[in-house]
Amino acid sequence: MARYLLLRLADAVPTVFLVLLLVFIAMRILPGDPAIAALGDMATPEQLALFRDRMGLNDPLWLQFINFVKGVFTLDLGNSMMSNQNVVGLILYNLPFTIELTVVAMLMGILAGVPLGVLAATNRNKLPDSGVRVFSLIGYAIPDFYLGALLLITFALNLGWFPINGGGTDFASRMYHVFLPALTLAFVKAAFIGRLTRTSLLEVLSRDYVRTARAKGAKESRVIYRHGLRNALLPLTTGLGLSTLATLSGSVAIEMVFNRPGIGKLLISAIAERDYAVIQGGVVVFAMFVVVINLLMDLLYIVVDPRIRMK
């Protein structure tokens, strides 16, 4: 396991380097002058020149890239061009809110989606199966930001059951604040996970060893959960990895809808203000999430199916 982990980490190094290069290039080809975006059109040439020099914008591109990579690995991404706050400090403040939203949404999606998938698979072509399939279609069809706006208007503005914005302070208030945003993301995830669980479980239940277990008189619950669901976990694990990445990307819009702190809201605000330093930091965080989640999924494959080994 340790050797496999080291090999996967080594494989991730070129990916991380490519991500950093793409982020750097993307920031440099955006139209407009970051100095003018930060200081405004009324800034004098001297002020603009001083700003560019302070932010390192006058350095050669290769030197800017080296400093950028060095800053990523030393956690020194400079200061915001707008607020002059430390970029790493801004990220560390907002990061827990995004992680919290993603984790709670995924837990809600799994706790709802897996039982729905089992219910549909064990009642194939019956009313419960039809209901789950309709639910899945609705989940796929409704944009999460639209659903979030509906939930916000209904349960926060009209009924007053949940807060309109913010992220909370202690554990109880944070769970209270995160419930509606997480429910918004979990609705779509439950639809995806439920449909994936149904498909995977139906495939496993059609295999010969499952028929043999039933012929020997095994209880249906044992057949479903021990022989069926257990062997359906591998494709489900792949789906959960993809769903986690989708939840993470979906958190950007949801944080804006619910006016909730997080990396997504920080990134959107930075884009609107052309704050290059914060944009770079936010995009790097999302990219690192992708690398880490893919690595965790690779390790989870071995836990789910020990037969999987490096060749």
Same domain, 212 and 67: no
| Residue 86: strand pairing partners | 79
pLDDT per position as a tens digit, 263-298: 888 888 888 777 778 888 888 888 888 888 877 877
Same domain, 275 and 184: yes
Same domain, 53 and 125: no
User: Does residue 311 surpass a pLDDT of 60?
Assistant: no
How high is the pLDDT of residue 61?
A: 80
Same domain, 33 and 106: no
Q: What is the mean pLDDT of residues 92-112?
A: 90
Question: Is 83 domain-assigned?
Answer: no
How high is the pLDDT of residue 104?
A: 92
User: Does residue 125 surpass a pLDDT of 60?
Assistant: yes
Question: Is 310 domain-assigned?
Answer: no
Same domain, 151 and 278: yes
Same domain, 8 and 138: no
- Domains: count for the chain: 2
Give the confidence band of 108 by pLDDT, cuts at 50, 70, 90: very high
Same domain, 40 and 120: no
Same domain, 104 and 16: no
pTM for the whole structure: 0.80
Question: Is 85 domain-assigned?
Answer: no
Question: Is 207 domain-assigned?
Answer: yes
pLDDT per position as a tens digit, 208-256: 777 777 776 767 677 777 767 777 777 777 778 888 888 888 888 888 8
Q: Residues 260, 243, 289, 267: is their CA dihedral positive or negative? A: negative
Provide the domain limits for residue 54. Answer: 2-73
Q: Are 149 and 226 in contact (CB under 8 A)?
A: no
Angle 146-238-311 from CA coordinates, rounded to 5°: 155
